Chains A and B, each alone.
Chain A
Amino acid sequence: MRRSHLNALAARHPALFALALLVISLLINVILQPNMFARDTLNSNMRVFLPSILLTAGQAIVILGGGIDISVGGIVSIVNTVLATRVGLDGSPEKMWQFVFISLAAGLLAGAINGFFIAYLRLQPIITTYATSFLYAGLALFILPNPGGGIPAQIAALYRDSTPLNLPLAFYIIAIIILIWLYISSTRYGKFLFAVGGRAEAAYETAVPVTLVQFSTYVISGLMSALAGIAITMLSGSGNADIGNPMTLNSITAVVIGGNAMSGGIGGVAGPLMGAITLGFIQNIVSFAHISTWWETFVKATIIVVALAAPGVINLFRSRRA
């Protein structure tokens, strides 16, 4: 009886597991880095996590709608290289904001291209975005073949060092994302998103605009990728066409840890955001634990695999006992 109760709870709140993981990784992190909650330490952590968090929010929407977007890293790279080459270290703030605008438009366009192929031409999401990921990464490499370029230092500082009310900038942005998500999920569009991800044929027969909803998820993901690209450029202050590459898989992992079903229709955005922060903590833990860089990827991956397998393993043992 208790088991079914727990299972029901987990089914209703898929993000519970993500919350548990977040708390555990946070505790370990605090042990390894005792000054973790000092304003500057917190801020330096959060500003590093923020690009992944933004990317994960977009990925979460796509996966909820039953798709997947492997091209997000490519879009991040395009935005990063555009900003680093067109604004420059000595560019004016006006020029920076102008190109921020252009970057957002580029993200929307890249997302719209993905969405067009997948929703209107009905191509496989995984294949399509795999292909466009090369398109976008290739474009970034064309824009900036060797790492370099940059943005004005005062703009970068705005991102790095803003701590309104002694709280990191990232907190406000996370709060805004979650508020927007809470609103969206209580609107018709939110229900359509779950319906399309849950069972697209059924949604179609119920007169849900399936194609438009699918299309929109990739556009949102494109926009969030552009925001992530802007954030990571302001963080690093320079350009590198390879910068987005490792972020794609990271965003997908965060969504899965966050309790969203890869098949779509189950989950939300808050869980994946916790997943993204958890992944950031894991990265911290691995580097604080003085693990040799050769082992770093292995250890990180092991932690993730164990974390992902935990609910299944726990269930297995519980049913053995019953």
Chain B
Amino acid sequence: MAESLSARNIVKHYGGVVALSDGNLEVQAREVVALIGANGSGKSTMSKVINGVVVLDGGQLLLDGNPVHFSSPQAAKKMGIATVFQELSLIPQMTVAENIWLTREPLNRTGAIDRKRLNARTEELLALFEGTFKARLHPDDPVASLPADEKQIIEVLKAISSDPWMLILDEATASLDSRQVQRLFELVKQWQEKGKAIVFVSHRMEEIFRIADKYSVLRNGKTVGAGRMSDINEKELVKLMIAKESVFGYTRGESKASKVEPEVCLEVQELRTDYLRGIDLRAHKGELVGIGGLRGQGQRDLLLSLFGDVPYLGIIKLFGRQTSFKHPREAMKNGIALVPGDRAREGLLYIRSILENLLLPSWRQYGFPLRMGKAKKDAAEAGAGLNLKMAGLQEPVSSLSGGNAQKVVIGKWLMRSPQVLLLDDPTKGVDVGTKAEFYVLLSRLCEEGKTILFYSSDDEELIGMCDRVVVLHDGLISTELSGSTLTKENLVAASLGVLNGGAQ
């Protein structure tokens, strides 16, 4: 087993875009190194250089002090470097066991795959995360049928199954709930004690401080700082990442729930779907209502049914008028907008231009033939209003970083000036700088009298932003937290279904 890997002065460009100009990373066995940076700072590229997915254009990789060159993922794998990818490397059509052991299947004497041993070994690995799955997971289950968090866990198991000396976790916690993160971190500690090195790539400060021994910060493709976690605090770290302060710890100014009772905008009674088991909810005009809870407790279904995207039973009232949307089109007409959880798949047409994406819900307003001049002007204004960093409206959305892409999703709905905004984890995989801009934007929208339902997998965000948080557990609202009861302890307790920590 190797003992150390160092990447020195790594350069990598894709076409004309420089992803890394001076990337550096030192990793020793028995260490957890956090690789930190805003979106588009080169973190993913850095991990792809180390694991051989991309070939570097300059700089040096040293394994135990000897120069190495990884021309393919195979080469890095042979050297004991495994990766948990951010964009999943699983093959949806294949089973859990086939995916985990792909290229390393146990064979019998005839050269055929030994299914018995394959399944037995898979069971052993699944046992590591025992109890965090929604239903018992079988080695023969097709990966396509699993929810995102379980896919992510399979990805982790796949990486660890090759018993690497170094494990790269690239945003591996982004789709996990707190219980699964907890289990993962326990395992990381065990692996660390067994002599493995772990590179932890994440946006979540709290997790970085929980798990990492050392940090290395990237900014615009350059390594701008590295050291021990014990020598730095959150504020300083963020400062390194974005080079402008006053971003983290954003709190909404003024008047949390101090106003006179405003008009009820949205009312939900006894809402039932395949996942929801009777939800009652009210949201006032200008209110920011948080939706909390572990991942996959029905939050997505709640937002989708309000948007007319899944069939439901129950009553939904908009400004006192009962509605029954059967198609998102009807919801849109009534001033509802949804920022979906999977922006790549549901929120955007990646290969089309920013302009087209922004105008997609609004083309109707521009008549026939389309008044392109006005459309372009409006889109440019929307982009400027969101501080969208782009080379031009004609550029494809795929050229944007995660945070900027999410701004396009929000922008396309704001152009319709909706009354109700449904947000499904909008800050997932978004850098801190952009997050801060979102917080300001959401506050402003509330002041303008919009109603916002805001699901987030980030507890801090819910506590900092929301007037009120309803916590979903197993398709029901387990608790509603507001004011002084809206604390981290209560939120976590309610998420786990522990009722005595709640308010009511």
Chain A residues proximal to chain B, CB less than 8 Å: 11, 183, 186-188, 191-192, 194-195, 197-199, 201-209, 265-266
Query: By the criterion CB–CB under 8 Å, are B113 and A207 in contact?
Result: no
Query: By the criterion CB–CB under 8 Å, are B77 and A207 in contact?
Result: yes
B111 at interface by CB-CB < 8 Å? yes
Interface residue tally of chain B, by bracket?
20 to 34
Query: By the criterion CB–CB under 8 Å, are A183 and B112 in contact?
Result: yes
Query: By the criterion CB–CB under 8 Å, are A265 and B103 in contact?
Result: no
Give B101's nearest chain A residue, CB to CB: A191
Query: By the criterion CB–CB under 8 Å, are A198 and B94 in contact?
Result: yes
In B70-96, which residues have CB < 8 Å from any A CB?
72-74, 77, 83, 85, 88-94
Query: By the criterion CB–CB under 8 Å, are A206 and B73 in contact?
Result: yes
B58 to chain A, nearest CB (A): 23
Q: Check A194/B73 contact, CB under 8 A, given A188-B103, A203-B102, A206-B102.
A: no
Which A residues are in CB contact (< 8 Å) with B98? 191, 194
Give A184's nearest chain B residue, CB to CB: B112
Chain B binding surface SS class: loop
In B123-168, which residues have CB < 8 Å from any A CB?
142, 158
Which B residues are in CB contact (< 8 Å) with A206? 73, 89, 102-103, 158
B105 at interface by CB-CB < 8 Å? yes
Which B residues are in CB contact (< 8 Å) with A11? 142
Query: By the criterion CB–CB under 8 Å, are B94 and A191 in contact?
Result: yes
Query: By the criterion CB–CB under 8 Å, are A265 and B91 in contact?
Result: yes
Pairs A-B, 9 closest by C-beta atoms: A198-B91, A186-B112, A198-B93, A207-B74, A265-B93, A205-B89, A202-B89, A207-B73, A199-B91
What is the bound-complex CA distance between A201 and B73, given in angstroms?
11
Q: Check A194/B94 contact, CB under 8 A, given A205-B53, A206-B103, A207-B74.
A: yes
B108 to chain A, nearest CB (A): 9
Query: By the criterion CB–CB under 8 Å, are A194 and B93 in contact?
Result: yes
27 A-B contacts (beta carbon < 8 Å): A183-B110, A186-B115, A188-B103, A188-B105, A188-B113, A191-B98, A191-B102, A191-B105, A192-B102, A192-B103, A194-B91, A194-B93, A194-B94, A195-B94, A195-B102, A198-B91, A201-B89, A202-B89, A202-B90, A203-B91, A205-B53, A206-B73, A206-B103, A207-B73, A208-B102, A265-B91, A266-B93
B494 to chain A, nearest CB (A): 31
Q: Check A199/B72 contact, CB under 8 A, given A188-B105, A206-B103.
A: no
A211 to chain B, nearest CB (A): 10
Given contacts A186-B112, A186-B113, 20 further A-B contacts (CB under 8 A): A187-B112, A188-B105, A188-B111, A191-B98, A191-B105, A191-B113, A194-B98, A195-B102, A198-B93, A199-B92, A201-B89, A202-B88, A202-B90, A204-B73, A205-B83, A206-B89, A206-B158, A207-B73, A209-B74, A266-B93
Question: Which of B53, B77, B91, B110 is packed against the most chain A CB atoms within 10 Å?
Answer: B91
B128 to chain A, nearest CB (A): 20
B1 at interface by CB-CB < 8 Å? no
Which B residues are in CB contact (< 8 Å) with A191? 94, 98, 102, 105, 113
Give A267's nearest chain B residue, CB to CB: B93
B220 to chain A, nearest CB (A): 26
What is the bound-complex CA distance between A197 and B91, given in angstroms?
9
Which A residues are in CB contact (< 8 Å) with B105? 188, 191
B78 to chain A, nearest CB (A): 9
B171 to chain A, nearest CB (A): 15
Which A residues are in CB contact (< 8 Å) with B360? none
Which A residues are in CB contact (< 8 Å) with B90? 199, 202
Question: Which of A191, A194, A207, A265 is packed against the most chain B CB atoms within 10 Å?
Answer: A207
B273 to chain A, nearest CB (A): 14
B499 at interface by CB-CB < 8 Å? no
What is the bound-complex CA distance between A293 and B410, given in angstroms?
60
Which B residues are in CB contact (< 8 Å) with A186? 112-113, 115
Give B77's nearest chain A residue, CB to CB: A207
What is the bound-complex CA distance between A169 and B112, given in angstroms?
28
A228 to chain B, nearest CB (A): 27
B498 at interface by CB-CB < 8 Å? no
Which B residues are in CB contact (< 8 Å) with A201? 89
Which B residues are in CB contact (< 8 Å) with A192? 102-103
Give A190's nearest chain B residue, CB to CB: B113
What is the bound-complex CA distance between A188 and B102, given in angstroms?
8
What is the bound-complex CA distance between A219 and B252, given in angstroms?
64
Which A residues are in CB contact (< 8 Å) with B158? 206
Give B108's nearest chain A residue, CB to CB: A186
B503 at interface by CB-CB < 8 Å? no
A189 to chain B, nearest CB (A): 9
B107 at interface by CB-CB < 8 Å? yes
What is the bound-complex CA distance between A142 and B77, given in angstroms?
50
Which B residues are in CB contact (< 8 Å) with A194? 91, 93-94, 98
Which B residues are in CB contact (< 8 Å) with A195? 91, 94, 102
Give A8's nearest chain B residue, CB to CB: B145
Query: By the criterion CB–CB under 8 Å, are B92 and A198 in contact?
Result: yes
What is the bound-complex CA distance between A192 and B94, given in angstroms?
11
A15 to chain B, nearest CB (A): 15
